[in-house]
């Protein structure tokens, strides 16, 4: 039996994993649960881990996976690190409930779609804009939105590490030119540089915020920033 706070936190983590493919930060958890300090979040996380609902992955910032959900949340487990995409990389959206029969190899192929990998994206100092396809990668259909085009980028840098996005990860992006505050986006700066950051609108300006305190937030005028897509999934190789 989970307490209300434990259930609220589990539900918040689950919803964020479904939306962004990465778990929320401890600060975001604290705000969402209206707690005064992160120590309360640490206690809730520990309690959920001890009860077998989540697992923290060692040596990775903000790496939390949901192992199972209580019945009043559908009883559907979230991703397991042992599950892989058709490309052989871990996908937060590739888990299936234990009651679902294992797919045959042919069915697994049908459940995946190939999308283009457009090169590398900087999670740190912006690099040259992405403009050419390097190869294709198979992505589970469950990770892709039913509408819109998608592409993938290889992450270079550590500025988004506290969002669970590490150097060498593959991020799955849905093409869009709009974003809500707090969304992780591919931002094109001055039509020359591309970077992966959280986007916020502040006093008529655009703030591109890292998830690593070593990097400063870049504040730019709206005409300097074009949103090229929003993060919808993450693939990691172990």
Catalytic residue among 80, 94, 159, 237: 159
- Per-residue pLDDT tens digits for 139-184: 777 777 767 788 889 898 899 999 999 988 889 999 999 999 999 9
One CATH from 1.10.10.10, 3.40.50.720, 1.10.1200.10, 3.40.225.10 for 4-78: 1.10.10.10
The answer to whether the CB of 167 falls within 8 A of the CB of 229 is no
Domain boundary assignment for the chain: 4-78, 109-235
Overall fold of domain 109-235: Umud Fragment, subunit A (2.10.109)
- The yes-or-no answer on residue 159 being catalytic is yes
Catalytic residue among 197, 221, 226, 237: 197
- Per-residue pLDDT tens digits for 83-116: 333 333 333 333 333 333 333 333 333 346 788 8
CA distances from 45 to 7, 48, 126, 230, 233 (A): 11, 5, 34, 28, 23
pTM confidence score: 0.54
């Amino acid at each position: 039996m989970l307490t209300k706070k434990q259930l609220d936190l589990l539900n918040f983590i689950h919803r964020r994993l479904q939306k962004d493919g990465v778990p929320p930060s401890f600060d975001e958890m604290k705000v969402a649960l209206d707690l005064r300090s992160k120590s309360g979040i640490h206690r809730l996380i520990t309690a959920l881990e001890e009860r077998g609902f989540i697992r923290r992955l060692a040596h990775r910032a903000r790496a939390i996976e949901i192992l199972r959900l209580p019945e009043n949340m559908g009883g559907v487990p979230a991703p397991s690190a042992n599950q892989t995409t058709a490309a052989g990389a871990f996908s937060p959206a590739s888990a299936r409930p234990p009651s679902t029969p294992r797919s045959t190899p042919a069915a697994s192929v049908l459940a995946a779609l190939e999308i283009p990998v457009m090169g590398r994206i900087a999670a740190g100092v912006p690099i040259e804009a992405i403009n050419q396809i390097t190869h294709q990668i198979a992505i589970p259909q469950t990770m892709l939105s039913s509408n819109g085009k998608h592409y993938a980028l290889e992450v270079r840098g550590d500025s988004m590490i506290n969002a669970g996005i590490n150097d060498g990860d593959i991020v799955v992006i849905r093409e869009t030119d709009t974003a809500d505050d707090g969304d992780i986006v591919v931002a094109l700066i001055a039509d020359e540089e591309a970077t992966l950051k959280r986007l916020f609108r502040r006093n008529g300006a655009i703030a591109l915020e890292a998830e690593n305190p070593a990097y400063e937030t870049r504040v730019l005028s709206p005409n300097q920033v074009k949103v090229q897509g929003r993060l919808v999934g993450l693939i990691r190789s172990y």
